[in-house]
């Protein structure tokens, strides 16, 4: 009976992927065979169902914390879409994560130096008996930009802060960076772009003198114990999906795994160090890590819809120099991520001062733009763009571009209002 139920469920998932147009970010690719559908469903469950603290009757899902930010992945990646800066009640959302570091010689394996007491991320939650670390805060300074045609756009520059600190003051050299959770689109496909293809677009010294000098991040891998090309997160400091799944388990949920075997308590966090441990060696053994990775790598990316007029302007004003529309994979398949996965200096306004491996304080990875039409729908009026979610519209996001993208941004400002609208429509249909 149980077997039949599982079979029915698998069939349903496969059917929904075949007949429904993937107008969401939850549908598996259609070529999965039965046993793969089972792994997909298992991975999805570990991604979706809340974890609990150890010890508990359900050892499969215990080990949460002691310090953590949320108890399930979907808290921050709703329907696999973007996180938001504010929740529906207007308070800062848990999907806005506060990263902490100090500017010192960077650690070779993690790519920065964590804050001595609070570590690399401010935990806004903890299990009973352990104080959480603190809460994020932010305020804004407004700036006005006037577009060709007279439209006024108000940009809000966020000032990052923390309140309610439970373990004393932060180091006076602390660098605070707020990061919003990105949408989880086409992650498996991005892993199939070869290193050579990415490196072919690097132009570190801007030899072609177009003002744009992409650079790949080079990061330490806890899987291969070598330096690899970084592809994921806002500063491309993570080499593979699996690495990021294990990193998220550790940083965001306090779950240990073979890749990150240690709890995130620092030396001075006594209650955290003394709290009960799970019975198993790892909260997330390799097989479950692999299942979540399989789930994320086998989600269908939204179909690219041709919009020639929009793409033409996108190319004309050099958006496509960084947001590369097309890659052909080794298997001959064309994908449309609209990213080069490289780091670019985006200027002072966006800089967060935080170093991650080869990424400087002003450099960010070009975020892939596929899926905007879908995650915009998921978040409705709370949709946001850029690493800290400061932009409420794609138009605001463009107007924050500076540094290597200064010229491209200025070209946008000088487009005819009609052309500006075509470009925005194009982006919102991706």
Q: Which is nearer to ligand HEC, 15 or 146 (CB)?
A: 146
**Smallest separation, CB 426 to ligand HEC (Å):** 8
Q: Which is nearer to ligand HEC, 8 or 329 (CB)?
A: 329
Phi and psi, residue 32, nearest 5°: -70, 135
**Smallest separation, CB 104 to ligand HEC (Å):** 19
Cβ-defined contacts of 165-168 (< 8 Å, 24+): 165/133, 165/134, 166/131, 166/132, 166/133, 166/134, 167/117, 167/118, 167/131, 167/133, 167/268, 167/269, 168/117
Buried b (16+ CB within 10 A) or exposed e, 339-366: bbbbbbbbbeebbbebbbbbbebbbbbb
**Smallest separation, CB 4 to ligand HEC (Å):** 30
**Smallest separation, CB 199 to ligand HEC (Å):** 17
Question: Are 105 and 173 in contact, with CB atoms under 8 Å apart?
Answer: no
**Smallest separation, CB 180 to ligand HEC (Å):** 6
Q: Which is nearer to ligand HEC, 10 or 244 (CB)?
A: 244
**Smallest separation, CB 251 to ligand HEC (Å):** 8
Q: Which is nearer to ligand HEC, 73 or 189 (CB)?
A: 73
Q: Which is nearer to ligand HEC, 20 or 200 (CB)?
A: 200
Q: Which is nearer to ligand HEC, 10 or 69 (CB)?
A: 69
Q: Which is nearer to ligand HEC, 97 or 193 (CB)?
A: 97
Q: Which is nearer to ligand HEC, 12 or 46 (CB)?
A: 46
Q: Say how many C-beta atoms besides its own lie within 10 A of residue 134's C-beta.
A: 19
Cis peptide before 398 (omega within 30 of 0): no
Q: Which is nearer to ligand HEC, 266 or 366 (CB)?
A: 366
As a whole number of angstroms, the distance between CA 419 and CA 411 comes to 11
Cβ-Cβ contacts under 8 Å for 54 (sequence gap 6 or more): 62, 63, 64, 276, 277, 278, 279, 283
Name the token pair of 315.
């190319």
Q: Residues interacting with ligand HEC, by CB under 6 A?
A: 47, 69-70, 73, 75-77, 94-95, 97, 179-182, 184, 187, 212, 232-234, 241, 244-245, 248-249, 252-253, 292, 296, 317-319, 321-323, 344, 346, 350, 364, 366-367, 369, 385-387, 394, 397-398, 401, 404-405, 408-409, 412, 427
**Smallest separation, CB 409 to ligand HEC (Å):** 6
Cβ-Cβ contacts under 8 Å for 7 (sequence gap 6 or more): none
From the centroid of its chain, how far is CA 400? 19
**Smallest separation, CB 400 to ligand HEC (Å):** 7
Q: Which is nearer to ligand HEC, 68 or 269 (CB)?
A: 68
**Smallest separation, CB 97 to ligand HEC (Å):** 4
Cβ-Cβ contacts under 8 Å for 243 (sequence gap 6 or more): 221, 222, 223, 232, 259
Q: Say how many C-beta atoms besides its own lie within 10 A of residue 407's C-beta.
A: 16
Q: Which is nearer to ligand HEC, 130 or 294 (CB)?
A: 294
**Smallest separation, CB 48 to ligand HEC (Å):** 9
Name the token pair of 428.
């919102």
Residue keyed to tokens 């010229």: 407
Residue keyed to tokens 């399930």: 72
**Smallest separation, CB 70 to ligand HEC (Å):** 4
Name the token pair of 389.
């979610």
Name the token pair of 408.
């491209």
Cis peptide before 55 (omega within 30 of 0): yes
């Amino acid at each position: 009976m149980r077997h039949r139920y599982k079979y029915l469920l698998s069939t349903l998932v496969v059917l929904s992927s075949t007949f429904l147009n993937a107008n969401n970010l939850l549908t598996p690719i259609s070529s999965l065979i039965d046993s793969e559908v089972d792994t997909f469903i298992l991975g999805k469950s570990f991604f979706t169902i809340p974890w609990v603290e150890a010890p508990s009757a359900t050892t499969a899902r215990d080990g949460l914390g002691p310090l953590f930010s949320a108890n399930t992945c979907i808290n921050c990646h709703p329907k696999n879409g973007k996180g938001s800066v504010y929740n529906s009640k207007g308070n800062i959302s848990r999907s806005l994560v506060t990263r902490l570091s100090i500017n010192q010689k960077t650690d070779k394996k993690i790519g920065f130096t964590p804050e001595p007491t609070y570590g690399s991320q401010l935990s806004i939650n903890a299990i009973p008996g352990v104080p959480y670390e603190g809460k994020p805060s932010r305020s804004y300074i407004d700036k006005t930009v006037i577009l060709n045609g007279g439209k006024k756009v108000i940009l809000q520059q966020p000032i990052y802060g923390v309140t309610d600190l439970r373990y004393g003051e932060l180091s006076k050299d602390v660098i605070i960076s707020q990061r919003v959770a990105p949408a989880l689109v086409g992650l498996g496909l991005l892993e199939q772009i070869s290193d050579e293809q990415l490196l072919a677009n690097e132009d570190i010294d801007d030899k072609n003198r177009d003002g744009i000098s992409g650079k790949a991040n080079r990061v330490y891998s806890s899987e291969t114990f070598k330096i690899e090309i970084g592809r994921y997160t806002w500063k491309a400091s993570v080499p593979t999906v699996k690495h990021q799944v294990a990193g998220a388990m550790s940083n965001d949920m306090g779950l240990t795994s073979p890749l990150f075997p240690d709890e995130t308590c620092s030396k001075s966090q006594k209650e955290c160090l003394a709290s009960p441990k799970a019975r198993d060696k790892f909260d997330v053994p390799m097989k479950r890590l692999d299942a979540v990775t399989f789930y994320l790598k086998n989600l269908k990316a939204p179909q690219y819809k041709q919009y020639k007029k929009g793409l033409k302007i996108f190319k004309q004003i050099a958006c496509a120099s960084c947001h590369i529309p097309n890659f052909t994979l080794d298997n001959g398949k064309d994908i449309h991520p609209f990213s080069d996965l490289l780091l670019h200096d985006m200027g002072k306004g966006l800089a967060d001062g935080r170093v991650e491996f080869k990424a400087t304080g002003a450099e960010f990875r070009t975020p892939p733009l596929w899926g905007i039409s879908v995650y915009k729908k998921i978040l409705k009026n709370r949709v946001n763009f850029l690493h800290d979610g400061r932009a409420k519209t794609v138009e605001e996001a463009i107007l924050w571009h500076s540094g290597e993208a200064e010229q491209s941004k200025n070209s946008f400002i000088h487009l005819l209002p009609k052309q500006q609208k075509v470009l925005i429509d194009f982006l919102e249909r991706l």
